[in-house]
Amino acid sequence: MTDDTGLTEVHECEGLSSGRTQGTIHFPASTMRDEVPSEGRVRFDAYQVDLHTGEVRKHGLKVRLPPRPFQILALLLERPGELLTRKELQERLWPADTFVDFEHGVNAAIQTLRRALCDSHKKPRFIETLPRRGYRFIAVVERIQPHAPGATLAPSPQQKPLATASPHPEWVGQIATICDEGGRNYVLLPISEEILGEMCACQTAKDDLGISLLVAAEKLLLVNCGTRVQILDASDANRGCMVRIMGGQFVGEKAFASRAYLSGLS
């Protein structure tokens, strides 16, 4: 499903992980009724949250989230790992003297938020319930720092400059395992070297919309680490190999995998 910006909205769930905490997010001390804290962007797992625009994206794709659940998410992200009490939620988000409406409203908002983040009450990855006390955000949160003027992005494994072609015909037919040196639980694999070029151009230009459109069109495939692939072509093995995906959502599909994403080859 697409919204009026042309971005595909995400509704399916996937179990992914993320990087390091780099700081606490500070919001204005004033009470909060219908406004959302408006400082910057943060990342956790596969999600990015823009606290200024009130938007959540998963792998660059927009996630539908109503205002009240977003406000609760923003408060949880203010103090990751710390208890957000139900009393504090009531004081900051609900008008006074609305105990019955608050109890129903906060429970419904938390359920909506968990559904949007593909989270579980029984086995939470993001929002933990502390019975009769409140909630705690338990995933690692990272502030997304704006790039300084003139700064350049470090090349991804798909972009690293490599030497001349180094064929490995003995790899053809072998089974490799998708991995990521950065510790993520997924990688994006282009379906061809032509799409690899488009992806690299989008990354260089910081064109998140371009990446989102490639993912939505399934020209970039989101493949979980641990997925097995069969090598089909290793004529330029330093750069990467054409592979056939052997499991998961895209089983049977062909894709181009950077050498850095392939383990188990000999």
pLDDT of residue 96: 65
Sequence spans of domains, the chain: 9-144, 169-263
Cα(9)–Cα(56) distance, integer angstroms: 10
Report the b/e string of 48-77 with b at 16+ CB within 10 A: bbebeebbbbbbbbbbebeebbbbbbbbbb
The 10s digit of each residue's pLDDT in 83-129 is 999 888 888 887 665 555 677 888 888 999 999 888 888 889 999 99
pLDDT of residue 127: 93
Residue predicted with more confidence, 182 or 231: 231
Per the listing, tokens 């129903």 go with: 104
pLDDT of residue 107: 87
DSSP codes joined into one string, 103-160: HHHHHHHHHHHHHHTT--SSS-SSEEEETTTEEEE-S--EEEPPPPTT--PPPPTTT-
pLDDT of residue 227: 94
For all residues of the chain together, what is the average pLDDT? 76
Report the range out of 27-41, 61-75, 145-159 with the highest average pLDDT: 61-75
pTM surpassing 0.75? Answer: no
Contact at 8 Å (CB) between 241 and 262?
A: yes
State the pLDDT confidence band at 21, using cuts at 50, 70 and 90: very low
Q: Is the pLDDT of residue 3 over 60?
A: no
> Out of 3.10.50.40, 3.30.70.260, 1.10.10.10, 1.10.3720.10, which CATH number does the structure's domain 9-144 have?
1.10.10.10
pLDDT of residue 176: 95
Kindly report the number of other CB atoms within 10 A of residue 229's CB atom. 27
Sheet strand arrangement including 175-178: 254-258, 240-245, 228-233, 175-178, 262-263
pLDDT of residue 138: 92
Q: Is the pLDDT of residue 27 over 50?
A: no
